[in-house]
């Protein structure tokens, strides 16, 4: 590959995929330094350095860009102000400032950097001054250059070049580099894995202030995936490793398919490092071999979490994971939780076990088996349940996830109406579309989820029907560094088919608490329709709608504030009909950023609705945003 620039004055330029050159001139020489012989290498006395940037011409954004890239500014901010530090930073700033000028379309710039009046380029590194009091950076950008020609060829179908890489626009080196990068990437996207920049020619005409830019690409032949070699695995069965990776041997080369392999291997949870390397040479029949190097994570992992509410009490959760149970990437996870510790109702317990097997049926499908038992002691009922199920999770992309399972469930409910046993088969299905920028602390994007759980009762007390749920979340940020974030959530659900007394209690809907309406007690809003010996019995409703609006404000790097309002309504019949009740709450909170997500502290109070018995302030503490 060739890369050069022709110009009437000293200039520098870098372009392409790893090739180029930087070229500059300066007056004087190290041996002629006026400081030679008496500049020592002692530390500065700690006095601040007067750093002065002087820009003679150019647009308004040029000086901030120069200061942002300057090593002198960085050294001063970090307290590295010895003579040796200042000289090293100054010598490095020539190329950095020149790069900024070129990226802004200035190709006739003159840069002077003086340390106490002496040009930094004329000082030998071993003759650094012991102390520097004043540094002056003087930049004369000169006229701005525009394209007389902006040409790149040949380009692949569908190539999207930078919109400003065309005749008459400002000739920025960044646009030239992006054009070359886009050209190569587009050829690779259509199977030309060895595409590269063959030659670049950029001619600066200082008489007319024009740039003639020509980039020639070499696409190379269209290739197919060859063979996959794997290295680094220890406990992992290589046959299963290949299946999880889903290497598309024989298919047309596509870099996106290599990225899909990385994602599948990363989702398995077995590996801490994954490196895919394309072969340097083209194989027989225009094939390209790929080398996979993996590093396995520690086999086991232990974790825990917590959440606290002044009415619901303390909730503790813990899990234990074996990442490679049968040497095929199978993951065993055991979850346990205790909640309502010190709360208004009895303690709740749960214990679950789940085994996931990646690459079951297809490379993007994970099969799993689960078993879970739990005991809930709520204010209006006690529930004991057991669930056993088989299911599949399909993840075709980072955004889309689908899950379906077949479950057998047994539940026993004790409330004011007596004891009720439920036996049923269920077929829960859930689809999630996640377009958030950051799952644990989203600032932009949205999250959508829709699910349906058909169930068939196996005895007279259990009805048949389906629970339907849908939820949407949206995020929008604005201000400097996205300081302000507006977040909203809407959730609705209904049960169709059975009567309310024939419906498993955990398929019914309640409002109140940290997951629905903050400021009201947990599950404080339901309906009273089931008749017991002493009259109506309070239970969950057949339909629900909850709404949440939250404003998040980043006050400092790690500290944020939140203002929120929640509302919920529960209906006694399917399809959001029949008698209903509503409640609303509002409050504020503090967020503290940690490496695993924001630590959340919220205070909320009821502002309307409810049953009149859940007034007062509610406190919520947890890890992660509320949604």
pLDDT digits (tens, 9 = 90+) for 326-348: 999 999 999 999 988 877 677 89
What is the distance, to the nearest Å, from the Cα of residue 88 to the centroid of all Cα atoms in its chain? 37
pLDDT at 229 over 70: yes
pLDDT at 24 over 50: no
Q: Binning pLDDT at 50, 70 and 90, where does residue 614 land?
A: low
pLDDT at 198 (0 to 100): 96
pLDDT at 92 (0 to 100): 95
Angle between helices 173-189 and 255-267 (to 10 degrees): 80
Among 59, 268, 93, 86, smallest CA distance to 172 is for 59
pLDDT at 118 over 60: yes
Q: Binning pLDDT at 50, 70 and 90, where does residue 535 land?
A: low
pLDDT, tens digit, for every residue of 363-413?
999 999 999 999 988 777 788 999 999 999 999 998 999 999 999 999 998
pLDDT at 522 (0 to 100): 83
Among 218, 232, 213, 233, smallest CA distance to 107 is for 213
Q: Binning pLDDT at 50, 70 and 90, where does residue 538 land?
A: confident
C-alpha pair distances (Å), 252 with each of 35, 85, 211: 63, 52, 38
pLDDT, tens digit, for every residue of 437-496?
988 889 999 999 999 999 999 988 899 999 999 999 999 999 988 999 999 999 999 999
C-alpha pair distances (Å), 197 with each of 211, 277, 287: 19, 20, 21
CA dist 435 and 168 (Å) reads 38
C-alpha pair distances (Å), 256 with each of 193, 253, 277: 12, 9, 14
pLDDT, tens digit, for every residue of 274-300?
999 999 999 999 999 999 999 999 999
pTM of the model: 0.77
pLDDT at 122 (0 to 100): 93
pLDDT at 12 (0 to 100): 34
Q: Binning pLDDT at 50, 70 and 90, where does residue 46 land?
A: low
pLDDT at 341 (0 to 100): 84
pLDDT, tens digit, for every residue of 239-280?
999 999 999 999 999 999 999 999 999 999 999 999 999 999
Among 130, 280, 151, smallest CA distance to 215 is for 151
pLDDT at 313 (0 to 100): 78
CA dist 533 and 394 (Å) reads 48
Q: Report which of residues 582 and 32 the model is more confident about.
A: 582
pLDDT at 10 (0 to 100): 32
Q: What is the arithmetic mean of pLDDT over 577-583?
A: 93
Within a 13 Å sphere around the CA of 283, how many CA atoms are in the beta-carbon half? 15
Q: Report which of residues 497 and 9 the model is more confident about.
A: 497
């Amino acid at each position: 590959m060739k890369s050069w620039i022709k110009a009437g004055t000293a200039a520098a330029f870098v372009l392409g995929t790893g090739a180029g050159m930087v070229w500059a001139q300066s007056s004087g020489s190290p041996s002629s330094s006026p400081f030679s012989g008496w500049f020592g290498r002692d530390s500065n006395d700690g006095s601040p350095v007067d750093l002065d940037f002087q820009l003679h011409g150019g647009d308004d954004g040029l000086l901030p860009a120069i200061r942002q890239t300057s090593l002198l500014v960085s050294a001063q901010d970090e307290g590295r102000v010895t003579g040796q530090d200042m000289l090293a930073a100054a010598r490095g700033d020539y190329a950095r400032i020149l790069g900024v000028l070129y990226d802004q379309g200035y190709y006739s710039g003159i840069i002077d950097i003086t340390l106490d009046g002496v040009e930094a380029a004329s000082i030998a590194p071993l003759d650094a001054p012991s102390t520097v009091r004043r540094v002056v950076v003087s930049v004369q950008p000169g006229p701005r250059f525009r394209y007389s020609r902006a040409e790149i060829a040949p380009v692949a179908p569908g190539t999207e070049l930078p919109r400003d890489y065309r005749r008459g626009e400002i000739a920025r080196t960044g646009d030239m580099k992006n054009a070359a990068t886009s050209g190569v990437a587009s050829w690779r996207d259509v199977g030309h894995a060895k595409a590269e920049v063959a030659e670049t020619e950029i001619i600066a005409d200082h008489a007319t202030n024009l740039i003639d830019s020509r980039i020639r690409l070499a696409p190379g032949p269209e290739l197919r995936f060859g063979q996959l070699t794997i290295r680094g695995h220890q406990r992992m069965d290589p046959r299963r490793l290949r299946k999880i990776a889903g290497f598309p041997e024989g298919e047309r080369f596509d870099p996106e398919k290599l990225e899909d392999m990385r994602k599948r291997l990363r989702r398995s949870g077995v590996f801490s490092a994954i490196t895919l390397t394309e072969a340097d040479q083209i194989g027989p029949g225009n094939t390209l071999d790929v080398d996979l190097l993996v590093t396995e994570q520690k086999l086991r992992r232990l974790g825990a979490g917590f959440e606290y509410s002044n009415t619901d009490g303390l909730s503790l959760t813990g899990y234990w994971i074996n990442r490679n149970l049968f040497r095929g990437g199978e993951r065993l996870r055991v979850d346990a939780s205790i909640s309502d510790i010190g709360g208004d109702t009895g303690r709740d317990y749960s214990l679950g076990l789940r085994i996931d097997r990646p690459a079951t049926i297809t490379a993007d499908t994970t099969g799993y088996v689960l078993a879970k038992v739990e005991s809930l002691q709520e204010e209006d009922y006690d529930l004991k349940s057991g669930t056993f199920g088989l299911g599949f999770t399909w993840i075709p992309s980072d955004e889309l996830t689908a899950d379906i399972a077949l479950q057998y469930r047994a539940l026993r409910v004790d409330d004011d109406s007596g004891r009720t046993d439920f036996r049923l088969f269920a077929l829960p299905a859930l689809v999630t579309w996640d377009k958030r920028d950051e799952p644990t602390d989203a600032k932009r994007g949205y999250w959508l989820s829709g699910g349906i759980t058909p169930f068939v009762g196996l005895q007279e007390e259990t009805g048949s029907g389906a629970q339907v749920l849908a939820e949407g979340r949206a995020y929008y940020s604005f201000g400097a560094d996205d300081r302000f974030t507006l977040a909203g959530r809407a959730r609705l659900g209904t049960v169709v088919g059975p009567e309310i007394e024939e419906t498993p209690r955990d398929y019914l809907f309640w409002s109140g608490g940290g997951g629905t309406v903050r400021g009201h007690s947990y599950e404080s809003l339901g309906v009273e329709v089931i008749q017991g010996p002493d009259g109506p019995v309070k239970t969950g409703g057949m339909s629900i709608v909850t709404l949440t609006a939250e404003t998040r404000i980043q006050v400092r790097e790690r500290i944020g504030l939140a203002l929120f309002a929640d509302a919920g309504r529960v209906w006694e019949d399917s399809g959001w009909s029949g008698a209903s009740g509503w409640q609303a709450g509002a409050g504020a909170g503090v967020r503290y950023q940690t490496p695993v997500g924001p630590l959340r502290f919220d205070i909320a109070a009821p502002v309307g609705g409810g049953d009149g018995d859940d007034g007062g302030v509610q406190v919520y503490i947890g890890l992660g945003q509320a949604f």
